[in-house]
Structure 1
Amino acid sequence: MRKFGIAILGFLLIVSVSKAQRSMDKIAGVVGSGIILQSDIEMQYAQYLAQGGAPNPAIKCQVMQNLLTQKILAQQAVIDSVTVKEDEVDSEIDRKMRSMLQRAGGQDRLEQFLGRSVIQYKDEIRNEIRESMVADRMRGKITEKISVTPQEIETYYKKIPKDSLPSYNKEVEVGEIAFNPVLSKEEKELYRQKAQELHDRVKKGEDFGTLARLYSQDPGSAPDGGDLGFADRSTFVKEFSATAFRLKAGEISPVFETDFGFHFLQVIERRGEQVHVRHILIMPQITQASLDRAKLKADSVYTLLTKNKQVDFSSAASYYSDDKETKYNGGMMLNADNVQTRTTFIPTDKLDPQIALVVDTMKVGEVSKPVLYTGQDTKKSYRLLMLRSVTDAHKANMAQDLPKLKDAAYSDKLNRTVSAWFEKKRKQTFIRVDAEYQSCPQLKSWAGAPAVASAKP
């Protein structure tokens, strides 16, 4: 079964929970003036399953804890005048609805699943979305002034037992300059003509969906006759979006080019700021001649860096590299597991094997000769690699690992601050947890709070 089919099954599971709410609801928890319904928990558990999670009733305990904390945060937000603007709520609801529309396969199917109009459903979830956003903003206010001083980092480090210090694998800093093969106008023309021939066949009356299934090279939509479902402008690359939203329902576009290749599309339906289209894509194939041209360019830049030394690696990356993720970062690769901190230190076991094989033979400061590289999308390019630094595997220490220890000390302080805040609020707030959830390990402190002990059903 295709992923689309799995997504629909998951979506139906969520909707079945929504339709069953009236018959299964009970009050699962009370927090101050707010209540948590059993259906709220079941809905979030269904979403967890729909996203691929393994069946696990213990997840409901985590859901319950999250809802309890959300209620406390939202109620404190009212006291502290922490709010969200209505247009922010609108944007979040729209984001959620876009996802649901794509998973359902269009507005008609979504409304059929929901048993109500999209407009009605958006009204129903508005308060829930607003409360979640307010709670997130309140949590941010609690932690906004948290920072760690060098002294606090050192204190945190010294409190870690020596035999419990984290171990770090060997890490490297690697820079790259990418040279992607570019087809000439003449080389592209063959593929543009193929797309044009298919376009002409559709215009003469052949079935669009059949031709898409047979010839389109978009693996995501070709099995569905090129159908992309409903989407808004932000879903597509700009050339595709401009074309799709310029046409009326039923119209077929001329052949046009994007970074993916040559397309033509047909608008099936327009609904406000969403459009339902199908398309056929012909993807140009890289030629040996284009690869040879990329190699020649890479050789020239290698000479500039290593022999003539007319330019440094960082400047060369920003000027010559075709990799949009690294060219404005001095060519330096980022650790994919720590993108938020934008660290350039990458454990060698996390490096792409093709890169690791070359880097393992290099000295610090050295630039490699052009390397033929094959991406996950099977596209080939040439890369120049530069090894900026190597850090051997070691136990954590202040000299080598200050940034990592700073992050760890900050996280520790943040968690302690939030935990202390919640501990105080739990003692001041009327809380009742249904007996079904009082055995949850993470809810022991909630169910055992003084306010709960005196609360009556």
Structure 2
Amino acid sequence: MLLKKLQLKTIGYRLVLTMCFLLFFNSVISAQEIIKDPVAEKPAELHTGQKQKIDGIIATVGDYIVLDSDIDKGYLEIASQGGNVKDITRCQMLGKLLEDKLYAHQAIQDSIVVSDAEVRGMMDERLNYMVQQVGDINKVVEYYKKSSVEEFKTYFADILKEQKLASEMRDKIVKDVQITPEEVRNFFKKIPKDELPTFGAEMEVAQIVVDPAVSKEDKQKVIDRLNDIRKDVLEGSSFATKAVLYSQDPGSSPNGGYYKMTRKTPFVKEFKDVAFSLQEGEISAPFETTFGFHIIMVDKIKGQEVELRHILIAPTVSENALKEAKERAANIRAKIVSKTITFADAARTESDEKETKANGGTLVNPNTQDTRFELTKMDPTLYSQVSNLKDDEVSQPILNTDDKGKKTYKLITVTNRIDEHTADYAKDYTKIKELALKEKQINAIAKWFDAKIKDTYIKIIGEYRDCTFANNWLKK
């Protein structure tokens, strides 16, 4: 029952995540066409027995209003992401919208700022994805029932800004919520044995990465190119435009190289060191990371947070260099297979991947920060590389191309397999800790809502006053 309660509490939280445009992040909805053929019916009409009515204000939260049509738009957004709207009532949708309005209202009260640059970056990112799916911005405009691209962009910018304010406010509420080992232990003890969760089959994986050698001449060509771009920007050219045209970072190039980061953001050390050494408006000299060469321009500094743009260009790798890297990987494999050296020791001495070599090549799951990878959730590329390996078998050299186009050779081995099993406190501590932390965060959000609803002007009009809400929006 405890886990079931946690799942019920989490429904609203998952709905919040679903309602936001889940693109380019670790989405729980599989990537698919976000825009289908134009619909003949309004999403609200999926719920039968409702009369058509004139649009109007149905709720007020602080400085924000909710229109009856906003509920229909909510259904549209979920459906456009492939979500199932069949079991979501209009009352539940309104409750979610009220939550977002209160988050956004309170964010403004707390002086949380979402810059125009952030909104433009999100806009470019989303629109690029949408257009890739349907091939034409006009189809996007038609789907959202707008008369022009400009009208759609204005409408979309308001939505994105409000969503970002809500997201920042949620993050602020939970960012300082921490869980102690004692709280994790007590959480686990409260779960009845017959309700303990089952965790799927997992494996632990290690790898050795061999980078192809890049000549000094090829590196200098990239440095010279970045210096030319830097010079153009200093003379008045747009850094954002240059990033769109030339940067090889797929995560930021479409939105002008834009990133917002703090010192805790998981970027490589060299990148963060340069980013936090610059003043507003300053452009760095070219510098190197494992991804290639970069230049950074800082747009804005807000306390511990930096808004920046960057351009990444990687040197060209010759076919001869790739061949030599493959031969080097094959030689390392031969030593491991002949038991001249262990895989872990070979990783420590031979691997070119700084992030894993110190730990014997052991990979860390980016979603859980644990060393285990659940097979059903494993990255498809990684799964294809390890699925046929036997215990302690070392793969042949694998040519790997990352999302930035960088080519390397790697050796992979499976170091541990964990069968599907009922949760065990010692073996599954990390996962149990995640569940306990999520429950504590949900409780913190619920407490925040209780307090802010009391202190905020909220009015719900008409038939929606008959709704049963999870939060006390009616202040009864």
TM-score, with length taken from structure 1: 0.57
Instruction: Tell me if structure 2 keeps the 8 A contact 1:14–1:43.
Output: no
What's 1:53 paired with? 83
What's 2:351 paired with? 318
Residue 136 (structure 1) aligned with residue 162 (structure 2): no
| The one of 433, 440, 444 aligned to 1:417 | 444
Tell me which amino acid in the other structure corresponds to 1:309: I
Summarize the Cα distance change of 1:233–1:439 in structure 2 as closer, same or farther, 3 Å threshold. farther
Summarize the Cα distance change of 1:383–1:142 in structure 2 as closer, same or farther, 3 Å threshold. closer
Alpha-carbon distance, 1:70 to partner: 1.3
- Note the alpha carbon deviations across 1:48-99, whole angstroms, 9 max, x for none: 2233334526264443222101111222223322222232233233334434
Residues in 2 aligned to 1:79 and 1:54: alpha-carbon distance in whole angstroms: 34
Give 1 or 2: higher helix fraction. Answer: 1
What RMSD, in angstroms, separates the aligned Cα atoms of the two structures? Answer: 4.9
Alpha-carbon distance, 1:345 to partner: 0.8
Residue 449 (structure 1) aligned with residue 475 (structure 2): yes
What's 2:109 paired with? 79
| The one of 329, 334, 340 aligned to 2:367 | 340
What's 2:389 paired with? 358
Summarize the Cα distance change of 1:169–1:373 in structure 2 as closer, same or farther, 3 Å threshold. farther
Instruction: Tell me if structure 1 keeps the 8 A contact 2:33–2:133.
Output: no
Summarize the Cα distance change of 1:156–1:8 in structure 2 as closer, same or farther, 3 Å threshold. closer
Three-state SS of the structure 1 residue aligned to 2:83 is coil
Instruction: Tell me if structure 1 keeps the 8 A contact 2:207–2:347.
Output: no
Alpha-carbon distance, 1:354 to partner: 6.4
Three-state SS of the structure 2 residue aligned to 1:30 is strand
- Note the alpha carbon deviations across 1:386-443, whole angstroms, 9 max, x for none: 33334455443432222222222211111111011112223343434455556666x2
What's 1:63 paired with? 93
Instruction: Tell me if structure 2 keeps the 8 A contact 1:30–1:36.
Output: yes
Instruction: Tell me if structure 2 keeps the 8 A contact 1:180–1:382.
Output: yes
Residue 176 (structure 1) aligned with residue 207 (structure 2): yes
| The one of 383, 403, 406 aligned to 2:433 | 406
Tell me which amino acid in the other structure corresponds to 2:119: V
Summarize the Cα distance change of 1:54–1:88 in structure 2 as closer, same or farther, 3 Å threshold. closer
Summarize the Cα distance change of 1:43–1:326 in structure 2 as closer, same or farther, 3 Å threshold. farther
Instruction: Tell me if structure 2 keeps the 8 A contact 1:171–1:345.
Output: yes
Three-state SS of the structure 1 residue aligned to 2:66 is strand
TM-score, with length taken from structure 2: 0.55
Instruction: Tell me if structure 2 keeps the 8 A contact 1:25–1:37.
Output: yes
Tell me which amino acid in the other structure corresponds to 1:368: V
| The one of 416, 427, 433 aligned to 1:389 | 416
What's 1:309 paired with? 341
What's 1:26 paired with? 56
Residues in 1 aligned to 2:171 and 2:40: alpha-carbon distance in whole angstroms: 30
Three-state SS of the structure 1 residue aligned to 2:433 is helix
Residues in 1 aligned to 2:429 and 2:200: alpha-carbon distance in whole angstroms: 16
Residues in 2 aligned to 1:104 and 1:372: alpha-carbon distance in whole angstroms: 34
Residues in 2 aligned to 1:118 and 1:331: alpha-carbon distance in whole angstroms: 49
| The one of 71, 75, 88 aligned to 1:41 | 71
Tell me which amino acid in the other structure corresponds to 1:76: Q
Residues in 2 aligned to 1:394 and 1:16: alpha-carbon distance in whole angstroms: 45
Moved more, 342-351 or 130-139: 342-351
Structure 2: 5+ residue runs without aligned partners?
A: 1-31, 44-52, 213-240, 254-318, 402-407
Three-state SS of the structure 1 residue aligned to 2:204 is strand
Residues paired across the two proteins, number = 334
Summarize the Cα distance change of 1:340–1:111 in structure 2 as closer, same or farther, 3 Å threshold. closer
Summarize the Cα distance change of 1:122–1:15 in structure 2 as closer, same or farther, 3 Å threshold. farther
Residues in 2 aligned to 1:104 and 1:238: alpha-carbon distance in whole angstroms: 24
Residues in 1 aligned to 2:464 and 2:115: alpha-carbon distance in whole angstroms: 34
- Superposed, 1:9-408 pairs within 5 Å as 9-10=36-37, 12-13=38-39, 24-54=54-84, 56=86, 58=88, 60-103=90-133, 105-107=135-137, 116-177=147-208, 234=244, 238=248, 298-305=329-336, 306-309=338-341, 312-315=345-348, 318-319=351-352, 331-335=361-365, 339-347=366-374, 352=383, 355-359=386-390, 362=391, 366-368=392-394, 370=396, 384-391=411-418, 393-408=420-435
Tell me which amino acid in the other structure corresponds to 1:152: E
Alpha-carbon distance, 1:122 to partner: 3.0
Summarize the Cα distance change of 1:294–1:41 in structure 2 as closer, same or farther, 3 Å threshold. same
Alpha-carbon distance, 1:115 to partner: 5.1
Summarize the Cα distance change of 1:124–1:63 in structure 2 as closer, same or farther, 3 Å threshold. same
Residues in 2 aligned to 1:178 and 1:35: alpha-carbon distance in whole angstroms: 54
Alpha-carbon distance, 1:173 to partner: 1.0
Instruction: Tell me if structure 1 keeps the 8 A contact 2:332–2:346.
Output: no
Residues in 1 aligned to 2:249 and 2:172: alpha-carbon distance in whole angstroms: 41
Structure 1: 5+ residue runs without aligned partners?
A: 18-22, 182-230, 243-285, 376-380, 451-457
Three-state SS of the structure 1 residue aligned to 2:351 is helix
Residues in 1 aligned to 2:41 and 2:376: alpha-carbon distance in whole angstroms: 42
What's 1:454 paired with? none
Summarize the Cα distance change of 1:334–1:47 in structure 2 as closer, same or farther, 3 Å threshold. same
Summarize the Cα distance change of 1:431–1:312 in structure 2 as closer, same or farther, 3 Å threshold. same
Three-state SS of the structure 1 residue aligned to 2:182 is helix
Moved more, 306-315 or 149-158: 306-315
Instruction: Tell me if structure 2 keeps the 8 A contact 1:298–1:382.
Output: yes
Residues in 2 aligned to 1:9 and 1:168: alpha-carbon distance in whole angstroms: 35
Instruction: Tell me if structure 2 keeps the 8 A contact 1:82–1:137.
Output: yes
Summarize the Cα distance change of 1:346–1:8 in structure 2 as closer, same or farther, 3 Å threshold. closer
- Note the alpha carbon deviations across 1:7-66, whole angstroms, 9 max, x for none: 6544x449989xxxxx84222322234210122221231232233334526264443222
Alpha-carbon distance, 1:312 to partner: 1.8
Q: Percent identity among equivalent residues?
A: 29
